[in-house]
Amino acid sequence: MSSDAISARGDLRLTRITKSYGEFKAVDDLTLTIPKGSFFALLGPSGCGKTTTLRMVAGLEEPTVGSIHLGDTDITTTRPYQRPINTVFQNYALFPHLTIFENIAFGLRRRGVKDVKEQVDKVLNLVELPHLAGRKPTQLSGGQQQRIALARAIVNRPALLLLDEPLGALDLKLRRQMQIELKWIQREVGLTFVHVTHDQEEAMTMADTIAVMNEGKIEQMGSPADLYDNPQTAFVANFLGQSNLIKGKIDGSDGDNLVVDLYGQKVSMPKKRSHAVDSSLYAGIRPEKFRISLLGTPVKGNTLTGGRIEDVSYIGVSTQYVVAMPWGQELMVFEQNDDGVPPFDKGDEVLISWEPSFTFGLRGDEDIEAGTEVNPEDLEEE
């Protein structure tokens, strides 16, 4: 416990953190470094331990095992009010008895800052709500409350800003707008943002680094593009977007590529994109990477023959096809509608092709349903 924790700055380091509630481990041996100045997202389904992790960083929970450092300062057991960390709470937790001005001034007054008025006005301008200073929180719309909650936190210029599902209570359109705004504000104020969400699109839009959490552990960490293009586990492949995972066997190699046998048809993929540990693997291809051609058309790259269009859904910008393969699997294909009308109909015999370098390989013993389950709690929050 350090008395000068309040002035600590630097990277946030979680070292071998475990949080147990009786038998249940909400967070399980988690190690994580969040670089200063980054916009970091902890992404995962309800109950994956992301909120518990955030609360331990805020000081609202104490880890059962492990330590938390901010720069060189150990803050594992520092009280929340002694940490240079502020939180934007889910549902905002604004003080209903105080005006918007006093809500924002709360942290400044506690620290005995001199120019309260000036700083509050500045941050109210930043969130573009200077005219609301005299109102009470209940007189504000959800989107306005959200911005005030953000203003109340960033006005303190914390070393770390925590956002706990900050946009969960907003409707879809407002949420998209706030995502862009939050990102802009983060760049403007240059603080480290740690954002917890179950919404993969939200995480991908805003964060520069995403840690995907599942059952108290980090499944994979990286940039949004990394995670999407080269997922290492079925959970990540399914939780971030959709994936076609086809069971196969490694059947030799060819330079930097592996030759993979998918139900008797040979395809290739880059060696470095395979996470298989033995010869069995799942070949993963994102639906928009597939191309559909009528049988007999010459194509480049990997091909799979014997498909039949099972379903066509026209959704304006693209068309989604379900293609039934001879081995009984249905593959999902997204095609851009750059030529207007979707060119294929239900029942067409087609072949599917794709660029080999887009393939990723997962271990053959993965549960390919992982991360696809829709959590009823997540639906409620939508």
Q: Which residues bind other proteins (CB under 8 A)?
A: 58-60, 79-81, 85-87, 89-91, 93-97, 106-107, 110-111, 152-153, 156
In terms of Cα–Cα distance, which of 229, 244, 128, 214 is closest to 178? Answer: 128
**Could you tell me what percentage of the chain is helix, strand and coil, using 3-state DSSP and rounding each to the nearest 5?**
30, 35, 35
- Residue 68 or 323: which CB sits closer to other proteins? 68
Q: Closest approach of Cβ 138 to other proteins, in Å? A: 11
Minimum distance of other proteins from residue 89's CB (angstroms): 5
Is 91 or 205 the residue whose CB approaches other proteins more closely? 91
What does the alpha-carbon distance between residue 231 and residue 224 come to, in Å, rounded to a whole number? 10
Q: Are 183 and 136 in contact, with CB atoms under 8 Å apart?
A: no
Assess contact for 212 and 349: CB atoms under 8 A: no
Residue closer to other proteins (CB basis): 157 or 176: 157
Q: Which is nearer to other proteins, 149 or 325 (CB)?
A: 149
- Provide Rg for the chain, Cα atoms: 24
Q: How far is the CB of 181 from other proteins (least distance, A)?
A: 21
Of 156 and 197, which CB lies nearer to other proteins in the complex structure? Answer: 156
CB of 367 to other proteins, least distance (A): 36
Beta carbon nearer to other proteins, 138 or 336: 138
User: CB 137 → other proteins: shortest distance, Å?
Assistant: 10
Q: How far is the CB of 80 from other proteins (least distance, A)?
A: 4
Burial of 264 (0-12, 13-18, 19+ CB in 10 A): exposed
**Beta strands 192-197 and 39-43, pairing class:** parallel
CA dihedral 157, 158, 161, 166 (to 10 degrees): -50
